[in-house]
A = this chain, B = another copy of it.
Amino acid sequence: MVNNLNNDVIVKNDPSVMNAITIDCVIFGFDKGSLEVLLIQHGEGISKGKWGLPGGWINKKESIDNAAHRLLYELTALDHIYLEQLKAFGNPDRFPLRRVITIGYYALIKREDYSIQPGFTASDAKWYKINQIPDLIYDHSEILTYSLKHLRDRVRQAPIGFNLLPEKFTLLQLMHLYEEILGIEMDKSNFRRKILHMKLLVALDEKQQDVSHRAAKLYKFDSEIYTKLTEKGFNFEF
């Protein structure tokens, strides 16, 4: 399932597919305090053995957003994923065989909802910590760098970080997420005040289980509240 997404395996002549445009996805996850990216190893073709971003071709009859969702579903078996277009990457020589422009997307997924199925044949899929990324094929490093920068900007201006966490989370987990993504240290007390003051979180009647210290209260993000607040002019900012 994974390896049919290697977009250099075959130069497509399938007429139901656009043959000069691909989609590449940067899929972010968050696990044990680290921001990670899902990479796949190409099993065949000119870049056999090398790692790259999961991607694929666009069908003639689907929108590009649809194509991205479809590819993501084919890869992770996850639906209703947070997904946004980054931008198009179009250096004339980015793809060695011929001129192919790619449209970058990035997705945020809850790691708890997803377990990797290793691909067929020689292909492999693996999570890499953001500071331990191997050399990538084509211009995929550039795409990844761009998406990381974009994520850092976005996460400050819209409440999208929640998409990386489980449904229920503690305030400190949320803070650690921000610290990891932004690469800064934050003050516990001030973070609590700020995030609670926004009233985007719903406090649950539940606490952490099986922790070797005082259990923290669990919260969840309420996107309805957020929608209502933005309509009133509220602006998320970190």
Contact = CB atoms under 8 A, between A and B. Distances in A.
A85 interface: yes
A59 to B, nearest CB: 8
Interface size on A, as a range, is 20 to 34
Interface in A52-99: 58, 60-65, 67, 85-92, 99
A122 interface: no
Contact of A85 (B58, B63, B87): B87
A21 B20 CA distance: 8
Contacts of A99: 18, 60
Nearest to A89: B64
Give how many copies assemble into the complex.
Answer: 2
A181 interface: no
A117 to B, nearest CB: 29
Interface in A6-30: 18-21
Q: Which of A19, A20, A21, A90 has the most CB of B within 10 A?
A: A90
A103 B88 CA distance: 7
Contact of A90 (B19, B89, B103): B103
Given A58-B90, A63-B92, A64-B88, A18 B18 contact: no
Contacts of A63: 90-92
Given A85-B88, A87-B87, A88-B87, A101 B62 contact: no
A21 B62 contact: no
A127 B67 CA distance: 36
Given A60-B99, A88-B88, 6 more contacts: A19-B20, A20-B21, A58-B90, A58-B101, A63-B91, A90-B103
